[in-house]
Structure 1
Amino acid sequence: MRALIVDDEARVRKAVRLLVDWEEHGIQEVAEAGSGNEAIELIRHNKPELVITDMLMDAGNGLELMTWISEFAESVKFIVVSGHNDFELVRSTVRHGGIDYILKPIDAEAINAAVAKAVADWRAEERERVDQRQQNIRLNEIRPVYGEKLLSSLINDSNTAESSLRRLRADGVIPELTDTVRLLLLQVDADDGPLLQRFGKNSDLLHFSIINICNEFLPPHRRGIAFKYWGASDEIILLLWSGHEAVAELIERVNQGLFHTLQRRMHFGVAAAGALPQSLPGQYAEAGLAIRRRNLLRGDNYLHTLLTESQDAGRVGDVSRLRFADVQEDWKIAVLSGGNEQRIAAAAQKWIDGLSHGGIVTPEMLDQWRSDTLSFRERLLRETLGDDAGTVLTALLQEDQQHRAPNTNAYSFSLFAWRDWAVDLMNRMSRAISERQAKEKYVIGDIIKYIDQHYTSELSLQEIASRFFVSREYISRKFKQEFGINFSDYLSKYRIEKAKLLMLNPNLKISQIAEMVGIHDVKYFSKVFKKLEGVSPKEYRHKLPS
C-alpha cells in the first residue's frame, strides 16, 4: 500500500512519518506534499490508498482536498491531523467520509489506531470491488451469449419470439418503438484456412471480430445490431430497424471495414423489410435463398436479394442450362475407361465449359450437381460391381472426407477448382472399379483352377462359395457375366468335354468314363451328354474315327 502525508509544515510531516508504524500496517511507500494542490497531483499519479492531511493550508486547504477525493478518488481513505478544535471542521471530515480527526500535538497511539482502521476499511472495500469486478466480467461474458440466444430466438422459435422481443427491448438492445426490421445474412467461409490461422484456428474469435466490425457501422444512429446466429454455426445476422433504404451503402462500408481489417469481403443475403418479429423467419429463409442463388461468375457483387438474382437469371434465361444428364454418359465412359486420364480430364472440362457457357453458376446449382454426381457414382458402382458396390462405396465415402468438393460459401469461386474435384472424383471411381474387377477376376480364375483340379470329385456351389469366402449368388452372377452360363452348367460342360477326350480310348466303358469325370450315375451322365452334344454317349462314340 501507499500513503501520502499532506501538511504545509515540514516538521509536522516528519513527525507523522516517525510516529506511524508503516510496516505493521502493510504500507511500503510514503510520499509527502506541502499543499492540497500538490497533493491532488500526487494522488493522480501515485494513486495512494491513504492520505493523512492537515486542514488549514495556504495553497489548497484540507477541505478542498477532501471534496476532490470524495468526487474523483473515492476509494482513498483519509485522516485529518489539525491544530484547530473546530466543530465545523470535524463535521466536514465526517461528511466526506474521513476516518478520524486527530488534534495536534499528535498522539502516536491515536494516529496508529486511525491508520489501522483506514487500512482495514480500504482492504474490506477492495475485496468488495474485486468481487464486483469479477462478477461484472462474468456478466459481460454471459450477456453477449444471452443476447445472441434471445436475438436468434426471434428467428428460430416462434413460440418465444414475443417474450424475447420484450426482454430485448427492456435491456435496450432493440428500441421500444421499433416495429419494422430488415434482415441481412452473412455466411462465413468455414474453409478459409489462412484467415482462421490468424485467429489461432478459433472460429468463435473470428466471428467475434466480424461482428464487432459490423457493429461499428450500426451504433451511430442506432440503426441495428449484428450477432452470431445460433441456428447455424457459420452465419452472422444483421438486423436493421432504421436506414433500410441505404442497405447497399451499409454493406459497402462494412466490406471496406472487413477488407481493411481481415483482407476479405463477404456476401450478404438481404430480405425485404417486414414486421418485427413475425416476419423474421421468412426473411431469414429469403436471405438464405438469395445467397444460395447468387451468381458466382459475378464475384464483384456482394449484395444479394431474390429480386436481383432472378433478374440475373432472366438475362441468361434464353441460354440452355446444362444438366448432369447432358454429361452423364461422358462421365460413365470416362470412369469405365480403365483410368484413362485424358478421357477423364476431357469429361470434366466439358462439364466446366457447359457451366461457364450458361452465364450463371449458383451455389444452389453446384449443390445439386454435387448431389447428382454422388447419385451417379452409386448407380454406376451397383451396375458394375453388384453386391460388392456397398463395400466400395463405403470406402469412397470415407475418402470423400479428404477430397471434399469446394465450399459454395467460399469468398471466392473457381471453376477450375470444381473441374479438379470432378477429375479426382472420376479417377477415384475408376480406380476403385478397376481394382475390384481385377480382384474378382483373380477369384474367378482361382475357382476355374480349382474346378480343373477337382472336377472328378463331388463339387457343389456351396462348397466352392465356402472355400473362396464368397456368396453363392456372387459365383452364379460372375459365371453368368464371364461365361454366359451358371456354375452348374459350366461344371457339367467341363466334365462332358473331359469325357469326350476319354471316349477316344475304346477300352473304357461309358460307366467308367462317367465315374472318371465325377458323375456317378451313368443314366444321368447320358442325359447330360445328350443335352449338350445332341446325341447319346454311344452314338457319339460310334461317330469317332476308328
Structure 2
Amino acid sequence: MKALIVDDEKHVRDAIKLLGQWETAGIDTLYEAADGHEAVAAITAHQPQIVLSDMRMPGKDGMALLEWISVHAPHSKVLVISGYDDFELVRHAIRYGGTDYLLKPVEADELNSSLFRAVDAWKEADAVRMQSTRQSMVVNQMRPHYHDRLLTELVVGRGSNNTQFQRLRDELNLPKQIDSCSVAVTSLSHLDAQCLAKYRSQPDLLVFSVLNICAEMLSPPAEGVVFRQLDQPDEVVLLYWGQCSSLQTILEKVNDGLEQTIQRRLHFGISSCEFQPTGTSGAYQEASLRLWRRNALQTKQCIHDTLESSIGNKGLRLSAFEESLRLASMSGRATSVSNAVAEWMEPITRLDVVTAEQIQQWVDEMEWMIGRWLDDAAGAPPKEEDEAIEEQPIPFAELPLDREGLLSLPLLRSLLEQRLLAAGKALTAHHHATPDPMSEIARYMDAHYQEDLSLQQIAARFYLSREYISRKFKQQFGLNWSEYLGKLRINNAKLLLQNPFLRIAKISEMVGYQDEKYFSKVFKKMEGITPGEYRKTLSDGNV
C-alpha cells in the first residue's frame, strides 16, 4: 500500500514518518507533498490509498485538497493532522470524507491507531468493490453474448423479426421510434496475416478492440448498436438508425480510431436505408455482399456501397489448371511449380477487378484440391460433404492481402507455391516407406506442447493440408489434434501442480497457455475442478 504525507513544514513530515508504524500497517511506500498543489500531482501520479494532510497550508490548503480528493480520488482514506482545534475545520473534514481529525503535536499511539483504522476501512471498502466488480464481470461476460445472439438472429432473418426487435428494445433500451436502419458489415479476415498473427493467441482481443472503437463512435443505443455476428465469428456488424448520410462519416472515424489502436483500417460494406425491423435482414445481406464483392485491387476506398462486377473472371478457377498444378507439385521442383502458378496467374495481372470473395474462393479451392490429392494418394475414402472440419484456433481466414486489405499478387503467388511444394513432398512420401505422419505429428506435439501451436503451422511443417490432418488424426487417435494437445498440456500441468512452490500462473505458461484464466477454464472443463482445487486435493491426500 501507499501513503502520502501533506504538510508545509518539513520537520512535521519527518516526525510523522518516524512515528508511523508503516510496515505493520502494510504500507511500503511513502510520498510527501508540501502543499495541496503538490498533493494533487502526487495523488494523480501514484494513487495512494492513505493520505495524511495538514489543514492550514499556503496555496491550496487542506480544505480545498479534501474537496478535490472527494471528487477525484474518493477511495482514498484521509487522516487530518492539524494544529487548529476549530469546529468548522472538523466539520469540513467530516463532510468531505476525512476518517479522523488529529491535533498537533500528535502522539505515536494516537497516530498509529488512526492509521490502522484507516487502512482497515480502505481494505473493507476495497473488498466490497472487488466483489461488486466480480459480480459485474460475470454479468457483463454473459450479457454481451446474449445481446449478440439476439442481434445475430435478427440480421440473419431467423424467427419473428417483430418479436426479436421488441426483446432487443427492452434489453438494450433502444429508442421507441426507429423507422429505418442502415447496416455496415466488416470482416476481420480482410486484415493482413501480419496483423492477425499478433492476435493469434488472443483472437477475441482483436474483436473487442474493433467493437469498442465502433461503440465509441456511435451513441448507443440512441444512434445504433454494434455486435459480433455469431454465425460468422470474423464479422462485426453495425445497425445504424441515425441519419443514413452520416454512417460513412462515422465509419471513417472508426477507421481513424483503428489506425491508432491496431495500425490498420478496415473495409466496410454498407447497405441502403431500409425499414426497421422488417428490412434488417435484407440490409445485412446487401452490406455483406458489398463487402465481399468489393474490388480488392482498388487502393483508396474503405467504405463500399456498390457491388463490383467480376463476370469476366469466371474462367480463372484453379480447378481449370488442376492437372498441370498437380504434376508440377509432384515434380518437387520449385521452378516447375513457379511456372505452373505463373501460367494460372498471368490473366489475373491484367484484370481491373478482383473481389475479396474471389480471393477467398481461390484459397478454399486450393485447400480442397490438395486435400483430394492426398486422399487419393493414401487411398482414403472421399470426404462427406457435411463432414465437419475442425475449427481453427483463430477464427479468421488468412488471405493474401496487404496491410491495406488489398490483394497482393506476390503473396498470392507465394502462398500457392509454398502449398504446392509442400503437397508435392507429402505426395512423394506416400510412395516410400516412411513413418506414419499422424504419429510423427503426435510426437512433435509431445515435444513442443509448450509452444503456441496452430493447425496451420503443423500443416506447413509436415506438408499436409489442415483438412487432411484434422480428419486422419481423429481417425487414428480418436481425438482431434486440439483435443490431443489440450489433454497433453493438462496432464503435464497436473504433474507440475504437485510442486507447491510453482505458482499456477507459471505452470500455465510452462504448459503453453499465456493466459492463466484461460488455462484454468480449460483445466476445469477437462478435470471438473480448477488447478487450485486440484492442488488442494493433492495436499489433502485425495489424489
TM-score (norm 2): 0.53
> Is the Cα contact below 8 Å between 2:190 and 2:267 reproduced in 1?
no
Partner of residue 241, structure 1: 241
SS at 2:297 equivalent: coil
Structure 2 counterpart of 1:168: 172
Partner Cα distance (1:68, 1:380) in 2: 73
Q: Which residue of the partner structure matches residue 286 of structure 2?
A: 286
- The number of aligned residues is 398
Instruction: Work out whether 1:125 is the aligned partner of 2:129.
Output: no
Quick one: distance in 2 between partners of 1:347 and 1:58? Answer: 83
In 2, distance between residues paired with 1:339 and 1:60?
A: 83
Structure 1: gaps spanning 5 or more residues: 440-546
User: Conserved in 2, the CA contact under 8 Å of 1:334 and 1:344?
Assistant: yes
CA distance in 1 between counterparts of 2:363 and 2:230 reads 27
C-alpha distance in 2 between matches for 1:102 and 1:424: 77
**Per-residue Cα deviation, 1:366-393 (whole angstroms, up to 9, x for no partner):** 45556666776788899xx7x9643899
Instruction: Please tell me the residue identity of whatever aligns with 1:153.
Output: R
Correspondence for 1:332 among 323, 346, 362: 323
Q: Would the alpha carbon gap of residues 279 and 128 (structure 1) be closer, same or farther in structure 2, given more than 3 Å must change?
A: farther
Tell me which of 408, 417, 431 is aligned to 1:414: 408
Q: Summarize the Cα distance change of 1:229–1:142 in structure 2 as closer, same or farther, 3 Å threshold.
A: farther
Cα pair 2:180 2:241 within 8 Å, conserved: yes
SS class of match (2:266) = coil
Q: How does 1:140-151 map to 2 (within 5 A)?
A: 145-146=141-142, 148-151=144-147
Q: Is the 8 A contact 2:291 2:304 kept in 1?
A: yes
Cα distance change, pair 408–348 in 1 and its aligned pair in 2 (3 A): closer
Q: What secondary structure is seen at the aligned counterpart in 2 of 1:322?
A: coil
Compute the displacement of 1:124 (Å). Answer: 3.0
Alignment partners' CA distance in 1, 2:380 and 2:240: 51
Whether 1:272 and 2:262 are equivalent positions in the alignment is no
- Alpha-carbon deviation of 1:438? 9.8
Instruction: Give the drift of 1:227.
Output: 4.5
The one-letter amino acid of 1:271's match is S
Aligned to 1:526: none
Q: Measured at CA, do residues 301 and 97 of structure 1 come closer, stay the same or move farther in structure 2, by a change above 3 Å? A: closer
Residue deviations 1:161-183, cap 9 Å, x none? 543442222xxxx5565554322
* Cα distance in structure 2, aligned partners of 1:30 and 1:321: 73
8 Å contact 2:400–2:415 — kept in the other structure?
no
Q: Following the alignment from structure 1 to structure 2, what is the Cα–Cα distance between the partners of residues 179 and 96?
A: 49
Give the aligned residue type for 2:80.
F
> 2:155 matched to 1:153?
no
SS of match in other structure, 1:78: strand
Contact 1:148–1:228 at 8 Å: present in 2 too? no
Q: Alpha-carbon deviation of 1:126?
A: 0.7
Q: State the secondary structure of the residue aligned to 1:76.
A: strand
Name the CA distance, whole Å, in 1 between partners of 2:367 and 2:131. 53
Deviation at 1:188, TM superposition (A): 1.4
Partner Cα distance (2:341, 2:59) in 1: 89
* Distance change >3 Å, CA 245–CA 50, structure 1 → 2: same
List per-residue Cα deviations over 1:315-342 (Å, max 9, x = no partner).
Answer: x65x5841649x73x6436645874978
The CA distance in 2 between the partners of 1:320 and 1:6, in whole Å, is: 80
| Alignment partner of 2:345 out of 352, 366, 369 | 352
State the distance in 1 between where 2:60 and 2:110 align.
Answer: 23
- Distance in 2 (CA, whole Å) between partners of 1:126 and 1:17 is 24
More RCO (CA 8 Å, sep 6+): 2
Task: Show the counterpart of 2:513.
Answer: none
Q: CA deviation at 1:413?
A: 0.9
What is the alpha-carbon distance in structure 2 between the residues aligned to residue 206 and residue 269 of structure 1? 19
Q: How does 1:98-247 map to 2 (within 5 A)?
A: 115=111, 118-135=114-131, 138=134, 145-146=141-142, 148-158=144-154, 162-169=166-173, 174-175=174-175, 177-178=177-178, 180-189=180-189, 192-196=192-196, 202-219=202-219, 223-247=223-247
State which of 362, 371, 378 in structure 1 corresponds to 2:355.
Answer: 362
CA distance in 2, matches of 1:380, 1:40: 77
Q: CA RMSD in A?
A: 5.7
Kindly tell me: are residues 163 and 121 of structure 1, through their superposed partners in 2, closer, same or farther at Cα, counting changes over 3 Å? farther
d(CA) in 1 for partners of 2:39 and 2:244? 51
Q: Distance in 2 between matches of 1:200 and 1:379?
A: 28
Residue 76 (structure 1) aligns with = 78
Alignment check: 8 A CA contact 2:81 2:103 kept: no
* Change beyond 3 A, Cα 1:22–1:282: same
Listed as ranges, the matches of 1:427-442 within 5 Å are none
Q: Is the 8 A contact 1:50 1:76 kept in 2?
A: yes
Tell me, in whole angstroms, the C-alpha distance in 2 between the residues paired with 1:381 and 1:143.
48
Q: Quick check: 2:36–2:59 contact (8 Å CA) kept in 1?
A: no
Change in CA separation of 1:112 and 1:266 when aligned onto 2, cut-off 3 Å = closer
Q: CA deviation at 1:187?
A: 1.2
- The 1:408/1:234 distance shift into structure 2, 3 A limit, reads farther
Task: Describe the shift of the 1:406–1:354 C-alpha distance in structure 2 as closer, same or farther (beyond 3 A).
Answer: farther
Give the conservation status (yes or no) of the 8 Å contact 1:339–1:430: yes
CA distance in 1, matches of 2:424, 2:42: 77
Distance in 2 (CA, whole Å) between partners of 1:380 and 1:92 is: 83
Q: For residues 200 and 429 of structure 1, what CA distance do their matches in structure 2 show?
A: 25
SS in 1 for 2:189: coil
Distance 2:343 2:415 in 1: 14
Identity of aligned residues (%): 23
Residue 300 of structure 1 aligns with which residue?
Answer: 300
Partner Cα distance (1:197, 1:132) in 2: 39
CA distance in 2, matches of 1:102, 1:377: 81
Q: Which amino acid aligns with 1:288?
A: S
Mean Cα displacement is larger for which, 94-103 or 355-364? 94-103
Comparing 64-73 with 43-52, greater Cα deviation is found at: 64-73
Q: Structure 2 matches for 1:437-476, cutoff 5 A?
A: none
On the 8 A contact 1:378/1:393 being kept in 2, the answer is no
Structure 2 partner of 1:515: none
Q: Match for residue 322 of structure 1?
A: 315
Distance across 1 between alignment mates of 2:366 and 2:28: 77
- In structure 2, what is the Cα distance between the partners aligned to 1:89 and 1:375? 80
Q: CA deviation at 1:185?
A: 1.5
Rounded to whole Å, the distance in 1 between the matches of 2:360 and 2:300 is 22
After superposition, give the CA deviation of every residue in 1:470-489 in whole Å (9 maximum; x if it has no partner): xxxxxxxxxxxxxxxxxxxx
